[in-house]
Amino acid sequence: MKVKYFAWVRERVGKAEETIEPPATVRTVEELIAWLSGRSEAYAYAFEKPKVIRTAIDHTHVKSDAAIAGAREIAFFPPMTGG
């Protein structure tokens, strides 16, 4: 699946997007964040406060317990500050 990062999440991870293949045991957004955090210090820093991170699956906001099965694109970003 494709993963995208925005704003300070992107800056901390060090890339705007990538393709990942998490193991089948990673079923929810929360579990995906935990799995990503274990990849490197950069990811751990980006996701150090997982409750602050907002997630969208295929352009729709989801909660941390949302299932990631079948997702084409998952995006992680800070709370929005547009307008």
Binding site for another protein (CB under 8 A): 4, 6-8, 56, 59-61, 75, 77-83
Q: Measure the N-to-C terminal CA separation of the chain; round to a whole number of Å.
A: 30
Question: 75 near 10, Cβ under 8 Å?
Answer: no
Q: Which lies closer to another protein via its Cβ, residue 19 or residue 81?
A: 81
Closer residue to another protein, CB minimum distance, 23 or 82: 82
Phi, psi for residue 16 in degrees, rounded to 5: -85, -30
| Closer by beta carbon to another protein, 58 or else 65 | 58
CB of 25 to another protein, least distance (A): 28
Q: How far is the CB of 21 from another protein (least distance, A)?
A: 22
